[in-house]
Structure 1
């Protein structure tokens, strides 16, 4: 699949790049910090994950990730590569990525944990934040 990320739209009027959002998430995840992770989201953000997981605010996302980093996701990393960016208007965009969670001791995402994700981004001031996030496994169960 061709990479459809157009870096010419990445920085307008001093704004952070759309493609920087996944990098910011990877850094937040690397520290296993629910504070840093939740800071990537708007106050009214939603997050939908496999297993009937639905969170409907920045506070709920924070609480969920705090529990995950203390439990099953402790010591993990995440990676995500932008596949497509579509700017809807000057302050809203849709980003599609492919990646997943990397367990301690692994060098990359195991095929059974590979996901594709849809990110709805909204620019607030000069920074792009996640307004809605959803991911699903690449491999069917």
Structure 2
């Protein structure tokens, strides 16, 4: 279910919702390109990413780990994010929930065991939406 809630008039956040969704799309594109620099360009300097087995505590750490993964086990993969909801806490903070999966080369879609549930926290800094925190866990 795709839903949006805001603390005030829902239409006030329509443009922001498009911009937030564009960040998720850009991260997916960078993953598909195996481009760690483009991937982390959408993360705040002090962002955190929690994924199974790893706590990445800033953009530099995220970039290093993603570059290593894109060169090895994630080479040629695509990341698919099905956004389930976008909620604004205020004009500069958004929470996104998604069902996300990794498709390996030759797969048209992720296998059932490659789907996860994710929470994204984004903030608008200097007019640009950035990922502040990302948390990913296996889907049941």
Structure 2 segments unaligned to the other structure (5+ residues): none
TM-score (norm: length of structure 1)? 0.89
- Regions of 4+ moved over 3 Å: 5-8
CA deviations 1:38-60 (Å, max 9, x no partner) are 1110000000001x200110000
Equivalent residue for 2:33, pick from 31, 34, 40: 31
Structure 1 segments unaligned to the other structure (5+ residues): none
Instruction: Give the conservation status (yes or no) of the 8 Å contact 1:22–1:81.
Output: no
Equivalent residue runs for 1:2-81 within 5 Å: 2-5=1-4, 8=11, 9-12=13-16, 17-50=19-52, 52-81=53-82
TM-score (norm: length of structure 2)? 0.90
Question: Does residue 88 of structure 2 align to residue 84 of structure 1?
Answer: no
Larger mean Cα displacement after TM superposition, 88-97 or 121-130: 121-130
Aligned CA RMSD, in angstroms, stands at: 1.7
Question: Does residue 114 of structure 2 align to residue 130 of structure 1?
Answer: no
Pairs aligned (count): 135
